[in-house]
Structure 1
C-alpha cells in the first residue's frame, strides 16, 4: 500500500488503522495515522476507538480534544470508553458537554452515561438523561431499557425500574438480569423468584449473572431452601456452570443462617478449594453465631489468600470480644499492628439527590 500510494485513499487508510487496532497493535495504528497527511473524522474515530479498546484513555482524550471536527460517533466512543474504564465522572461530564453543543447522542452514549449514573448513585443526572430521551422521542430499545432499569434500581427507585421493565416488549437476558439484581439488592426475594420463573417460562435462558442475582436476593430475604434448590439446579437443569461468586454467595448465606457445617462442606467442595469471598462469608456467619473455632479456620484462610485485608482482624477482634476471650483479643490487635500490609476496607454507599 505504501509503495503504490494506496494510503492516500481515505477508505484504505481508515481500514488499515482499524485492522491494526482490532488486532492489539494500536501503536502501529497510531503510526499509520500520524504518517498520513490527510485524515477525516472517520480516521480520528477509528484511532480513538482503537485507543479506547486498549484502554489508553488519556491518549484517546488527547486525540479527541485535537479533532478539527467531531461527530456523534466521536463523542459516543469517548463516553463509552470512560464508562468501561470506570471513570464515571468523566463520562457524565463529557455527555453534558456533548448535549450543550447540540450533538445528538446515540444509544451507546446514552447507555454508557446511564451506567455511569447508576454506579455513582447520580439519580438526578440519571433523571436528566431519562427526560432527554423522552423529550427527544428517542426509541427506548432493550439496551436503553436495561440502562434505565439498572439506574433506578441501584438508586432505590425499584418500582420505577419495574414499570420501565414491564413496558419493554423485547426483553433479553441482560434486561431480565438488571431487574433481578434490582430486586435482589432491595431484599425482594419472593418477587425476584417470581420474575425468575417468568423469565424461564418466556424462554429466556438465564446465565451466571441471573443466578447470582437470585442467590443474593434469596440470601437477603432469608430464603435458604429456595436458594439451595436454585443452586443445585444451576448445572443439572439449566446447564450454567457454577463460579466462585456463586459458591461464595451460598457459603455466606448458609453461615448467616447458622448452617456453619454446611457452609464449610460447600467451600471444601469448591473446584478452587475456596476463595476469599467464600471464606469471608463463612467468617461473617461465625461472627453472628459466635462460632470461634470455625472462625479461626476461616480467618486463617482469608489471611493466607489476601494478607492485606485488614477487615478479617476486626471481625476476629469482635468475635473475641463477644465471647470474652480477652487474651486472644489482645493478640489479634497486636497482629494487626505488626502486619504493615493490612488495611481496613471501609464500606460506603451513596445516592446523590438534588446535587447534595
Structure 2
C-alpha cells in the first residue's frame, strides 16, 4: 500500500474513483484508521465511497459503529442496505436484520438471498422458508445462490420436496447440493434423480454412484438398529 499511496499523492488531480481505490485497498489490508482518514479528507464522496467504508466496518466485526455510520449516510442504495443486513445476520442480530430488510425502499435478489442465507446459517430454516414464500410473490427469478439457500433450509427441516421443485435446470452446483442434502436425509429416491442429472453433466464423476450407495447403506443401518 505504501507504493500505491506514494503514486496517489503524486497525482495532479484526484477524483472520487481514485480515492475509492485507495480506500478499498486500505480496507482490504485491515487498515481502517487510514481508510477513515482518507475518507475524511475527500472533498466530495459518492455512495460507492460510503459503501466501501460501511463494508470495511462490517467485515471488521464492529457492527455497532457500522450501524452508526449507516445512519449518517446521505444517500443509500440497495448495496448499502444489503451490506448492513448481512452484517447483522453474521452477528446473529436477526431481528435488526429483518427490521432493516422491511425498511428497504426496494429489494433485489441479493437482499432476499442474504436474508434467507442468514436465517439458514443461524439455524432458523423455518424463517428462511417463510421468507421464500414472500419472495415468490415478487416475480424475481432466483439464481443458484438463492436456490442453494432454500435447499439448505429444506435439508435442515427434512422437506426436500420443496427443493426438488425449485431445480428447473441441470446445474451441477444445484444438483450437487441437492444430492448432499439427500444423503444427509437418506432420501434415496430423490438422491438418485440428483445423481442421474449430475452424471449427465459430469459423466466422468465416479463418486456419484458411491454417494447414492452410501445413502442406501445408511438407510439399511438405520432400519437394522430399529429392529
* TM > 0.5: yes
**How far did residue 74 of structure 1 move?**
2.1
Q: Quick check: 1:273 aligned with 2:202?
A: yes
What is the distance in 1 between the residues matched to 2:55 and 2:80? 10
TM-score with structure 1 length normalisation? Answer: 0.50
SS state at 1:205 partner: coil
Unpaired segments ≥5 residues, structure 2:
222-227
**How far did residue 89 of structure 1 move?**
2.3
Unpaired segments ≥5 residues, structure 1:
1-56, 236-240, 293-356
More helix by share: 2
TM-score with structure 2 length normalisation? Answer: 0.74
What is the distance in 1 between the residues matched to 2:179 and 2:8? 47
**How far did residue 291 of structure 1 move?**
8.2
**How far did residue 157 of structure 1 move?**
1.6
Determine the structure 1 residue equivalent to 2:65.
Answer: 128
SS state at 1:89 partner: coil
Q: Does the 8 Å contact 1:267/1:274 carry over to 2?
A: no
Q: If you compute each CA radius of gyration, which structure gives the higher value, 1 or 2?
A: 1
What is the distance in 2 between the residues matched to 1:147 and 1:177? 12
Correspondent of 1:248 among 163, 176, 180: 176
Q: Does the 8 Å contact 1:153/1:179 carry over to 2?
A: yes
Question: What do residues 239-258 of structure 1 show as CA deviations (whole Å, max 9, x unaligned)?
Answer: xx443221221111110112
Determine the structure 1 residue equivalent to 2:22.
Answer: 78
Check 1:257–1:143 CA distance in 2 against 1; reply closer, same or farther (3 A cut): same
SS state at 2:140 partner: coil
Determine the structure 2 residue equivalent to 1:108.
Answer: 48
What is the distance in 2 between the residues matched to 1:169 and 1:58? 40
What is the distance in 2 between the residues matched to 1:123 and 1:275? 43
Q: Does the 8 Å contact 2:186/2:219 carry over to 1?
A: no
Question: What do residues 150-202 of structure 1 show as CA deviations (whole Å, max 9, x unaligned)?
Answer: 11112222221111100012112222122121122123222222222222212
Q: Does the 8 Å contact 1:208/1:242 carry over to 2?
A: no
Q: Which runs of 4+ in 1 moved over 6 A?
A: none
Higher RCO (C-alpha 8 Å, min separation 6): 2
**How far did residue 133 of structure 1 move?**
2.8
Determine the structure 2 residue equivalent to 1:225.
Answer: 161
What is the distance in 1 between the residues matched to 2:201 and 2:159? 26
Check 1:179–1:70 CA distance in 2 against 1; reply closer, same or farther (3 A cut): same
Superposed CA RMSD: 3.7
Q: Does the 8 Å contact 1:149/1:165 carry over to 2?
A: yes
Corresponding residue pairs, total: 216
Check 1:89–1:243 CA distance in 2 against 1; reply closer, same or farther (3 A cut): farther
What is the distance in 2 between the residues matched to 1:66 and 1:194? 54
Within 5 Å, give how 1:1-356 maps onto structure 2.
Answer: 63-67=7-11, 70-80=14-24, 87=28, 89=30, 92=32, 94-99=34-39, 101=41, 105-118=45-58, 120=59, 122-124=60-62, 126-134=63-71, 136-231=72-167, 235=168, 241-260=169-188, 262-270=190-198, 271-273=200-202, 282=211, 289=218
SS state at 1:180 partner: helix
Check 1:59–1:88 CA distance in 2 against 1; reply closer, same or farther (3 A cut): closer
